[in-house]
Structure 1
Amino acid sequence: MDRALFVYNPLSGDRTIPTRLDYLINRFQQNNILLQPYRLTKNEPDKLPHILAENDFAFFLVSGGDGTLNSVLNILLKNGLNKPIGLLPFGTCNDFARSLNLPVNLNECLNVIFSGKTVDVDAGLINEERFFFSTCAGGLFVDVSFKTHDELKKNFGPFAYYLKALSEVAHMKCFPLKIETEAETIEENVLLFLILNGTHGGGFANLIKDADISDGLMDIVLIKNCAHIDLANLFFRVLSRESLNDKNVTILKSRTCKISGSSEVLLSVDGEKGPALPINVRFINKALKVFVK
């Protein structure tokens, strides 16, 4: 019988996963897989590296949002573990899973895993020390995910982020940014920059409609300094899944980049607080295997 490690965040999304543990264990046993649960707990030493060192698992199952996924996958990659990853995308923000077109129904998610089909996907690496899998962003709105109250996220989901973001538009400030890629160098006053791995990012759908999560390339989106009304119009266009083709938006593709600016600019990495500028980013092609439809 194969063994799989199930790492879950009990506070993610609507917090129902802990009530489904028996169902999960039974489904895996029916498929001749012994599931070992591991509960992530805040403010306690993480025993996950020790468990990984002491055990051999056929694959890993992770439940939570992009932030939970980031912390778990960083541990796996830093320990050289390239076993397949199964996702239960039940956090507030699930951009990585959405970019892979994964279902949000528990039963359908399990069927994806039991089908055994995997795809190799890219990962970004910041300053040679921290991986990200969906988005690295800086500037306006980026602190929304870690400033929004947990109860708001539980009750309103991603909409809580949008409400918080709209409340900050009136206080928006641009900042000078320098972006150096393999092909060009750009210096611009911007409100926001995003480095994306897939089609979805920052809780928004299809930001880069032709993005390929397995091509080894990052998409860099720059939102230039603009009037409040122009930014609001752009915000609602993104919510409506319209194209980012706009005079106030620049989009670049690259395998590597260096981004320089004030160290006071806030950065977010997969929805969690990130490092200060400057940062060096490179994309690792096909860094991990994920179960897909």
Structure 2
Amino acid sequence: MNAPRMLFVYNPHAGKATIRGHLLDIIDIFTKAGYEVTAYPTQSQGDGEKRVRDRADDYSIVVCSGGDGTLDEVVSGMMNSEFKVPIGYVPAGSTNDYAKSLKIPSVMTKAAQIVVNGNDFLSDVGTMNDKYFVYCAAFGIFTDVSYSTDQSLKNALGHAAYILQSVKELQDIKTYHMKITYGNGTVLEDEFIYGMVTNSIQVGGIQNITGKNVKLDDGEFEVTLVRKPKSLIDLPNLVGALLDSKILSSNDLINIKLRNITFESDIPVAWTRDGEYGGEHTKVVINNLPRAVTIKVP
């Protein structure tokens, strides 16, 4: 009887290039579990998506190791392929937001054990116009942080790099005039400094920023919108409410649960998709695809 085949896609540069010291141990865990492993190091952005999309049909599982951006590529490749199989995830990025939401361990060998011994979890997946995303699509003040933070700084400082970049950008807050349509035609039009559509317990390494009672398989996103504060004096309370709504509240902070939402702007607005640059758009249509992909979890 032939051993089941595993495609193992990994980003050798993610995070602090952590995988380089664990690669052989991870592959050994997979091999001892009975898999014939094909290991593929990604060569450029988008390479992981293409490799998964164009894979042969005899792989029984696809595993990825890297940051949330690598997971995004692998999930996108799976969604664009003709046949679906479970996905395993060995996190190796700077913040690993989605892995922490799924309670996947940050110790890479433990995460590898989850891949071969864990349970199947059917997770929602989002679409942002014609692209897929796993856990977050966002615009605004903190959105620039992930892709404007230098990769070497990310590798050296990890989560601290995001915080440093955020503090630097608070000095010059941009606003975005958005017309937002959701539900049965509800329209919200205002000046915003930030907006995110999430399917995650944490974003940017900050836990519980996405709302209460978050479930990753309920067919709904958590949407957080931050209006432009009337003065800089209101900003600390607004940031405090964003970080912990139990302690502080703000009229400029809007939280909604929904399945689809449309953002329209007069000028192109930069977005991120799972922490990576998602292009500039004047219209973004976001939809939830319930329980669309299978991921191995504890």
Q: Does 1:209 align with 2:200?
A: no
Structure 2 stretches lacking a partner, 5+ long: none
- Structure 2 counterpart SS, 1:230: helix
Task: Identify if the C-alpha distance between structure 1 residues 2 and 104 changes in structure 2 by more than 3 Å, giving closer, same or farther.
Answer: same
> 1:291 is matched with which residue?
296
The answer as to whether partners of 2:69 and 2:276 remain within 8 angstroms in 1 is yes
CA contact (8 A) 1:178 1:261 kept: yes
Cα distance in 1 for residues equivalent to 2:222 and 2:32: 41
Shift of 1:64: 1.0
Aligned residues: 292
Q: Residue 28 of structure 2 aligns to which amino acid in structure 1? A: N
| TM-score between the two structures when normalised by the length of structure 1 | 0.92
Residues 252-284 of structure 1, C-alpha deviations (whole Å, 9 max, x = no match) = 111111111133321111111113121111100
Within 5 Å, which residues of 2 pair with 1:136-147? 136-147=137-148
Percent identity between matched residues is 28
Amino acid in the other structure paired with 1:166: V
C-alpha change, 1:216 and 1:85, in structure 2 (3 Å) is same
In the TM superposition, residue 48 of structure 1 has moved relative to its aligned partner by: 4.0
Contact 2:52 2:78 in 1 (8 A): no
Whether the 8 Å contact between 1:12 and 1:90 is mirrored in structure 2 is yes
Deviates more, 1:206-215 or 1:16-25: 16-25
In structure 2, give the amino acid aligned to 1:137. A
- Which amino acid in the other structure matches residue 77 of structure 2? I
Give the distance between the partners of 2:104 and 2:238, measured in 1 at CA: 27
Spell out, residue by residue over 1:29-55, the C-alpha distance to the aligned partner (whole angstroms, 9 max, x if none).
211112211111127967944884435
User: Which of residues 217, 222, 227 in structure 2 aligns to 1:224?
Assistant: 227
Q: Distance in 1 between matches of 2:55 and 2:115?
A: 24
Aligned CA RMSD, in angstroms, stands at: 2.2
Q: Match for residue 173 of structure 1?
A: 174
User: Normalized against structure 2, the TM-score is what?
Assistant: 0.90
CA pair 154-140 structure 1, distance change in 2 beyond 3 A: same
CA drift of 1:141 comes to: 2.2
2:21 partner letter:
T
1:100 to 94, 99, 102: 102
> Which structure carries more strand by proportion?
2
Distance of 1:22 and 1:100 partners within structure 2: 25
Deviation at 1:10, TM superposition (A): 0.7
Q: Match of 1:253, as an amino acid?
A: K
> Are the aligned partners of 2:191 and 2:228 in contact in 1 as well (CA < 8 Å)?
yes
Q: Secondary structure at the match of 2:99?
A: helix
Query: Aligned runs of 1:1-20 on 2, under 5 Å?
Result: 1-20=3-22
Superimposed CA distance per residue, residues 102-160 of structure 1 (whole angstroms, 9 cap, x where no aligned partner): 11011221221222411100011112x20111110011121211111112111110110
Partner Cα distance (1:244, 1:4) in 2: 48
Asked if structure 1 preserves the Cα contact closer than 8 Å seen for 2:53 and 2:81, the reply is: no
* CA deviation string 1:220-269 (max 9, x = no partner): 11011113343344445655796674322101111111111133321111
C-alpha contact (below 8 Å) 2:25/2:109 kept by paired residues? no
Distance 1:167 1:59, change over 3 A: same
Distance change (3 Å), C-alpha of 1:197 and 1:56: same
Give 3-state SS (helix, strand or coil) of 1:122's partner: strand
The worse-fitting range, judged by mean Cα deviation, of 180-189 and 162-171 is: 180-189
> Is there any run of 5+ residues in structure 1 with no aligned partner, and where?
none
Query: Is residue 256 from structure 1 mapped to residue 256 from structure 2 by the alignment?
Result: no
The residue that corresponds to 2:187 in the other structure is 185
Q: Is the 8 A contact 1:256 1:283 kept in 2?
A: yes
Cα deviation, residue 216, structure 1: 0.6
C-alpha displacement of 1:200: 1.6
Counterpart of 2:87? 85
Cα distance, 1:109–1:8 mapped onto 2, change above 3 Å: same
Aligned to 2:71: 69
SS in structure 2 of the partner of residue 214 of structure 1: coil
- Residue matched to 1:274: 278
Tell me the distance in 1 between the aligned counterparts of 2:5 and 2:248: 44
